[in-house]
Every structure is written in C-alpha cells, then in structure tokens.
Amino acid sequence: MNILVTGGTSLLGRNFLFEAFRAYEKGEDIKLSLLGRSSGDLTFKQRVASFLSDECPISLHPSLSKMLAYFDNDEFVSYYEYNLGEDQPFDASDRAKILGTRFSHILHIASVSDFRATDEVVTKLNQVNVKGTDRMLTLCKELNVKKFIYVSSAYVCGDASGEISPDYVNLEASFKNSYEQTKLRAEVNVRQFCKENNINYLIYRPSIVSGRLIEPVLGLTYKFDIFYSCAALLLYAKKVIHNELSMEALLDVHVNIPMRAQYSNDSGLNIVPVDYVAKVMMYTIFEDVYNRSIHLVNDEETPHHLYIPLIEKAVNCSGVVRVDEEPASKTIIEKMYYRSFGKMFTPYITGKPMFFDKSNIENIALECPRVDEIGFNTLMEYARSRNFGLSKSPDDADIVPRQSAIKEMAFRLGFKLKSLLDRRSLVGVEGK
C-alpha cells in the first residue's frame, strides 16, 4: 500500500500519520508520499518531523525513535512540495518523480477552511477546494490510481435538519457559507469523475473536529478555531481591558462582558475528536469498501446551552445571555459581535438539531468519546494551557495572534473594544 496524501500537516492529517505508523508497526506494508509546503526556515520534511515529536501520543512514546526513523526513510515516506491552489501544483522535477511512482490510493485532506464572505476568500475557496480537488482527480487518472479518498464535511448538508444520510446531496440548499458550498461541489465532482473513469471513491464527512479525547495528551490540538475562537474573542477583550497583566494573571481575573447572543436552546454542535476520526479513517481504508460516503461524527450534539457557559468559565468571563432573536437595539459590544464574529458563527448556533446517520460504520468497534461537560472541559483545559492559540507559548506574556481568519477577526475586534469601551461603565471587573 502506497498512499499519496495531501494535507498531512493539518490537524486531521497529523493524526492520520500517527495511525499510519501504528499500522506499519503492526506489520502492515504501508508507504506514504506526502504533499506539502515548507514554512519559514523549515522544509516540509522538517515540519513533519517537528510535529511528530511535539504531538506524539503518549502510547507511541516508546516507539518515537522508530517512528522518526520511519518518516526519515525514503524507502517508506517521500516528501513533495506543492501548491494546491496553482494550476501547476508541482515543479517539473517533483511531477516527474510522482508520475514515476505506483500508488494504491490518493487521500485528499487538504482544503481551505474560511467562513468569511469577501470576494477574495470566495475566490480562494473555489480555487483550492473545488479546482484543487479537480487537479487531484486529474492526477489520479494520470497515475492510474483506482482508489480516491476525499475528506469533505458533514456540514455540506447546508440547512438540512433532522436525520441526515451520509449520501445526502442538495446543491440548491441554503448554505451557511461558501466553505460548505465549495466542499459539496468538490464532493459531487469526486463522485462524477470517479464513476466516469472507473475509480473507486470513498468520501469522509467529519463534523467539527476538536482536539484528541482518546489518545493522551487529551485535548491536544494546534488548531483553535470554531468554538475555540469564541474563547479567543473573550480573551482578547480581557487583554484590551487589562493589557498590563501577564497571561497567567489575566486568566485569574474575572471580567463581566454583558452581551445578548442569539442561539438555539434545542440544538448544538456536533464535535468529533480528531483521534477518533483518524482511527476510523485508517480502519475503513483497510476495510477496502468503496463507492460510499461515511459520516465521521459524534453520536450526539453538544448543546449550545452547555458549552457556551463552559467557554466563558474557561476564560474566567461572564455576561453572555441567550436570546431567541437577534436584539434590535444593540449595545456597542453587541453591534461589533453581530457584524463580525457573530455573522459567521450565528448560523451554526441557531439552526435545528442535526442527526448524522453513521449506521454504515456500526461494525467498527470504536466508540466515539462524548463531548459532554467532562469532555468539553477537557478540550478547554488543553486550550487554556496553550492560551487558546493566541500566544507563541503558554509562558508568553504577550498575546500574538495566529494567522487564521477567525483569530485575525478576534484581534481586530479586541482593539476596536479598546477605543469604544468605557471599562468603568460598560464592563464590571472584579477579583476572581
């Protein structure tokens, strides 16, 4: 088995690589060809070695040196530089090497996850998520690979509610954003292309992917978006008010930020731990059953009314009040929330319950960890230890924003608060 993999440095990709090594360690003949990019002073190969060491599950610590040797051995793992958003993703040398290699599978994980609606973002989503997938399909045909695996999203169902089949497709649905729409368009292209070219396909539909909840270190993630970003937003507001405080001291100070947030009392987010997703992916690849879609989701939603107060608690804030409708007359804080972060997040927290059908993987003897109060607090504890992705390290006193769309928005919002908030009249501050 030789798998050509895109997105190997993503949160899901990293955890899949750990599962691939586990399979190798158990005696499976598995080779990997990874497509990725250099970053800063690190080559692509060095980036992989770095996170393999830093994020290695505790259960693999005894095999760490063996794992690093496996990923350093050209006989088992190859590395190729590429840019999925370009018409020609590879340079001539790497393309020649790839075309000269026999692959059993292509696993396409890479995509752009950006919920903003600007023209620039929508163009990039189409260029990478749709056209980039088309490029990988064309490459699949050129290489005569007969197994194409695509990672989509459970939320390509758009505004559907109730029980949702893993094969549900409605291109005319009302989507929450262009990300969902482009992932579905790419998914439809995968099905059509593979059927026309006699290629077996497998489509994974994960829900909102969180840090680990099976393999310690529990909660581990490097990607702090979606619900994590709610905490980041509150933490930025606190930093603006108490800029003189260190991070440790900042988290120990309680801040009340009154805000009416519209969200449903009956539904929630379907949050699935990344290690569960990676393990099921590895299992189903070996299971070798194709031409189907699989929901990689939790068995139940995490209610909004449960996790939103837990987010406040994690950053030592209070003041968010649930309302059924968006307030007509808003405070300054509420205006900024609904115009920026809330504009992207509100569609996910106001919809009806979704129940993703996962009956076609009932044979897998692996239970998805519940993201209940205990599970969600575990995710928050790890995120808190990493300052919710807002600083370079847990000991860094300054908040340095990570370069993702949501965190950039939180950064801007925080500094708008600096000029607009009268901290003495609008925000009540008291000791923890």
- Choose the final residue of a domain: 296, 311, 334: 296
Rounded CA-CA distance 154/206 in Å is: 5
204 and 241 fall within a common domain: no
pLDDT tens per residue, range 25-65: 999 999 999 999 999 899 999 999 999 999 999 999 999 99
Structure confidence at residue 271 (pLDDT): 98
Is pLDDT above 50 for 109?
yes
> In terms of pLDDT, which residue wins out, 193 or 241?
193
Which of 231, 236, 245, 252 is closest to 421 using CA atoms? 236
145 and 237 fall within a common domain: no
Structure confidence at residue 417 (pLDDT): 59
Is pLDDT above 80 for 396?
no
Is pLDDT above 60 for 279?
yes
SS3 of residue 322 by DSSP: strand
371 and 355 fall within a common domain: yes
257 and 275 fall within a common domain: no
Q: Does residue 219 lie within any of the structural domains?
A: no
Structure confidence at residue 167 (pLDDT): 96
CB atoms closer than 10 angstroms to residue 219 = 22
Is pLDDT above 70 for 413?
no
In angstroms, the Cα distances linking 233 to 30, 78, 303, 305, 382 are 42, 40, 20, 18, 17
Q: Does residue 192 lie within any of the structural domains?
A: yes
Number of helices (H), then strands (E), belonging to the chain: the values are 16, 16
Structure confidence at residue 250 (pLDDT): 84
Q: Does residue 216 lie within any of the structural domains?
A: no
- Choose the final residue of a domain: 296, 312, 341: 296
In angstroms, the Cα distances linking 263 to 66, 71, 314, 347 are 48, 45, 19, 9
Is pLDDT above 90 for 345?
yes
Span 349-366, mean pLDDT?
97
Span 278-305, mean pLDDT?
98
Structure confidence at residue 391 (pLDDT): 61
- Rounded to the nearest 10 degrees, the angle between the axes of helix 227-241 and helix 304-314 is 30
Tell me, what CATH number does 156's domain have? 3.40.50.720
Rounded CA-CA distance 371/12 in Å is: 18
The angle subtended at Cα 292 by Cα 286 and Cα 293, nearest 5°, is 95
Q: Does residue 218 lie within any of the structural domains?
A: no
255 and 281 fall within a common domain: no
243 and 290 fall within a common domain: no
Structure confidence at residue 316 (pLDDT): 95
pLDDT tens per residue, range 129-146: 999 999 999 999 999 999
- Choose the final residue of a domain: 245, 280, 296: 296
260 and 149 fall within a common domain: no
256 and 356 fall within a common domain: yes
Structure confidence at residue 4 (pLDDT): 98
Q: Which domain holds residue 325?
A: 227-269+301-431
353 and 403 fall within a common domain: yes
- The pLDDT-based confidence of 181 (bands split at 50, 70, 90) is very high
391 and 248 fall within a common domain: yes
Q: Does residue 220 lie within any of the structural domains?
A: no
- Total domains, the chain: 2
* CB within 8 Å of 432: residues ≥ 6 apart: 252, 253, 254, 316
Q: Does residue 354 lie within any of the structural domains?
A: yes
Rounded CA-CA distance 368/378 in Å is: 15
Task: Report whether 222 contacts 11 (CB < 8 A).
Answer: yes
Q: Does residue 369 lie within any of the structural domains?
A: yes
- Rounded to the nearest 10 degrees, the angle between the axes of helix 44-54 and helix 64-72 is 170
Rounded CA-CA distance 48/9 in Å is: 7
Is pLDDT above 50 for 104?
yes
Is pLDDT above 70 for 428?
no
* CB within 8 Å of 252: residues ≥ 6 apart: 316, 432
287 and 330 fall within a common domain: no
Span 85-105, mean pLDDT?
96
Torsion sign (Cα): 411, 413, 418, 422? negative
pLDDT tens per residue, range 12-33: 999 999 999 999 999 999 999 9
Question: What does pLDDT average to over the chain?
Answer: 91
- The pLDDT-based confidence of 336 (bands split at 50, 70, 90) is confident
203 and 239 fall within a common domain: no
For every residue of 78-99, DSSP letters joined together read EEEE--TTSSS-S-HHHHHHHH
- The pLDDT-based confidence of 409 (bands split at 50, 70, 90) is low
Q: Does residue 113 lie within any of the structural domains?
A: yes
Rounded CA-CA distance 286/294 in Å is: 15
